[in-house]
Amino acid sequence: MLIHTDYSIKNLNSFHIDVKAKYFIEINEENELTQLLHTDEYALNKRLVLGEGSNILFTEKFDGLIIKLNTKGISVIEESETEAVVESAAGEKWDNFVKFCVENKLYGAENLSGIPGTVGAAPVQNIGAYGTELKDIFHSLEGYFTDGMRKGYFEPEDCEFDYRASVFKDRFKNAFIITKVRFRLSKLHSLHLNYRDLKEIYKDQPAESILLADVRESILGIRSNKLPDPYEFGNAGSFFKNPEISNRKFKELHEKYPDIVHFKVDSTTVKVPAAWLIEKCGLKGYRLGQTATHSKQPLVIINLGSAKGKEIAEFADFIQAKVKKKFQIDLIPEVNII
């Protein structure tokens, strides 16, 4: 078992921040986790489990042990006439799992095509896009509690999934290592095309003639049009969550800005797009030093090349302050700032 010291993680975070971890280990087989438990590097240090580092901003050297899960394997473990349960190792790329489902004509994951990151990281923030969230197809997961590497098993009701949130981002933050995730997919033709851009693409096509593989291609196309390629400009997707505000607050805003878009959350709350708020502050495509908001989607903060993590965090603070001043709304980061 090889534990690296003072290891550069520049290529292991999608913001491409050039920082080091005091200790770093790659886990290729699940049983290596139990061996790791008995090392001083594990016992005496804080730890961080890293997927592809696509939702994290390092603002300084990580003074502890980074554990990167590289475990692989995707397979159907259960099936009926109408459904299949697919199990994936945590270290698989998320999009490999989606591709597997689409190739096997399993419906449910296609709207989540192209999301960067690993399968193991996906439940942590209940990833979502184009009208689907991970929780909609989630079956169960397993892994280890970091104190003593006790095995743990979570069903949907144990995960407390919410908008970009779960028990693994909250109560069990850094306390549980996800090693396997299972999903329930449908074998029946069932697509979710309510999201505006998808509706537009398929408006003239009868629903039953739309192919699963085409929906995946459409999603990949929408994403590449709107979102920056992390290989070109380091980024972590949406930097902030879309804020949820009261109906009363929304009414005030709507009177002032009749063009504001909103989505109903429940009878008392609505969600407004953070991208809209940022744009209205004049910060779409705004550049500050080595950081900027993306010119097509200002909710995405990009590294123009050599930004330090602190610089990006300060830019995020600057955006939060502008939005707060103009709208009295707090933007909450979606990205994990370390």
Phi, psi of 204 (to 5 degrees): -100, 5
275 contact partners, CB below 8 Å, separation of at least 6: 297, 298, 299
| Annotated catalytic residue within 30, 52, 113, 164 | 164
Give 249 or 271: the residue with its C-beta nearer to ligand EPU. Answer: 271
The residues in 205-244 that bind ligand EPU, with binding defined as CB under 6 A, are 226, 237-238, 241-242
CA dihedral for 321, 323, 326, 328, sign (positive or negative): negative
Selected from 214, 279, 311, 314, the binder of ligand EPU by CB under 6 A is 279
For residues 114 and 95, give the distance between their C-alpha atoms in angstroms, rounded to a whole number. Answer: 6
Residue 41 touches ligand EPU, criterion: CB under 6 A: no
Residues 303-332 that bind ligand EPU (CB under 6 A): none
Q: Which of 297, 303, 307, 323 binds ligand EPU (CB under 6 A)?
A: 297
- Going by C-beta distance under 8 Å and a sequence separation of 6 or more, which residues neighbour residue 152? 142, 143, 144, 145, 176
For the question of residue 150 being annotated catalytic, the response is: no
Pick between residue 50 and residue 84 the one whose CB is nearest to ligand EPU: 50
Strands 291-293 and 287-288: antiparallel
* Nearest alpha-carbon partner for 309 in 22, 9, 46: 9
On whether the CB atoms of residues 7 and 21 are closer than 8 A, the answer is yes
Let me know if 334 is a catalytic residue: yes
Please report how close the Cβ of residue 199 comes to ligand EPU at its closest, in angstroms: 12
Is the Cβ–Cβ distance between 55 and 236 less than 8 Å?
yes
Q: In degrees, to the nearest 5, what angle opens at C-alpha 329 toward C-alphas 328 and 335?
A: 145
Give 33 or 275: the residue with its C-beta nearer to ligand EPU.
Answer: 275
Minimum distance of ligand EPU from residue 263's CB (angstroms): 9
CB of 226 to ligand EPU, least distance (A): 6
Q: Residue 67 or 115: which CB sits closer to ligand EPU? A: 115
Token pair of 26 as six digits: 């790659």
Angle at the Cα of 336 from the Cα atoms of 136 and 14, rounded to 5 degrees: 90
Residue from the set 97, 130, 138, 315 that interacts with ligand EPU by CB under 6 A:
130
Out of 87, 88, 238, 244, pick the active-site residue: 238
CB under 6 A: which stretch of 33-41, 63-71, 276-284, 315-323 binds ligand EPU? 276-284
| Closest residue to bound ligand EPU by CB | 237
Active site residue 60: no
Give the integer Cα–Cα distance in Å for 38 and 34.
Answer: 7
> Can you give the binding site for ligand EPU, defined by CB under 6 A?
129-130, 226, 237-238, 241-242, 261, 273, 275-276, 279, 284, 297-299, 334
Point out the residues that are catalytic.
Answer: 164, 238, 334
